[in-house]
């Protein structure tokens, strides 16, 4: 069920629409100095996802304050990109779950099917288990869960934390939205 989403063009289109809304909110709020924000988007080269994604899909929204002397940059949260990860966030969240979930798949099969190297898959695992739990984002959020989320079972435990959300796609969107601030200005 998660596997289907990894290359689902309509799901990727939904994530783009969510990102556009997140960016619009940041722009409408303006710069903390009171200045207007101008678009300063840039191109990333994300890997993963369906082959049919247009070139515009690679564009990362970002803004720059128009006021001389401020020029503060504001990068909105994103459900497509996860921090500075090269692959789409969806892949970084779901591939480790396919590897370790109830119907665990072998590394070699994931490598072959998704063209992600074993090294990358193992690096993500380490990132989820060591880097992410040690970071400020997790440290500031961990006390907010109604039930504790096991760091040693990330990112699967994160999906479980949103198990109350009905529908697989909706559940995954909830996780990506929760992670979205990681890709925004204060956390980058
Ligand atoms: Zn400003």
User: ∠41-78-34 over CA atoms, to 5°?
Assistant: 60
| DSSP conformation class of 148 | P
63 CA distance to ligand 1 middle (Å): 10
| Under-50 pLDDT residues of the chain | none
Of 79, 129, 78, residue with least CA distance to 99 = 129
Which pLDDT does position 146 carry in this prediction?
A: 83
- Predicted TM-score (pTM) of the model is 0.94
Model pLDDT, residue 102: 66
State the distance from the centre of ligand 1 to the C-alpha of 33, rounded, in angstroms: 4
The Å distance, Cα 25 to ligand 1 centre, comes to 16
Q: What pLDDT is recorded for position 1?
A: 82
C-alpha of residue 39 to centroid of ligand 1, in Å: 13
């Amino acid at each position: 069920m998660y596997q289907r989403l990894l290359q689902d063009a309509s799901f990727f289109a939904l994530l783009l629409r969510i990102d556009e809304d997140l960016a619009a909110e940041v722009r409408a709020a303006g710069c903390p100095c009171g200045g207007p924000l101008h678009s300063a988007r840039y191109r990333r080269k994300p890997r993963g996802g369906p082959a049919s994604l247009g070139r515009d899909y690679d564009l990362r929204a970002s803004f720059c304050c128009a006021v001389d002397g401020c020029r503060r940059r504001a990068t909105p949260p994103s459900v497509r990109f996860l921090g500075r990860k090269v692959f789409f966030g969806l892949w970084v969240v779901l591939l480790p779950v396919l590897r370790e979930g109830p119907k665990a798949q072998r590394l070699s099969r994931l490598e072959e099917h998704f063209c992600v190297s074993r090294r990358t898959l193992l690096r993500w695992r380490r990132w989820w288990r060591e880097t992410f739990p040690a970071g400020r984002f997790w440290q500031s959020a961990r006390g907010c869960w109604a039930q504790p989320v096991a760091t040693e079972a990330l990112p699967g435990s994160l999906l479980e934390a949103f198990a109350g959300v009905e529908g697989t796609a909706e559940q995954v969107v909830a996780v990506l939205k929760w992670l979205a601030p990681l890709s925004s200005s204060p956390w980058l």
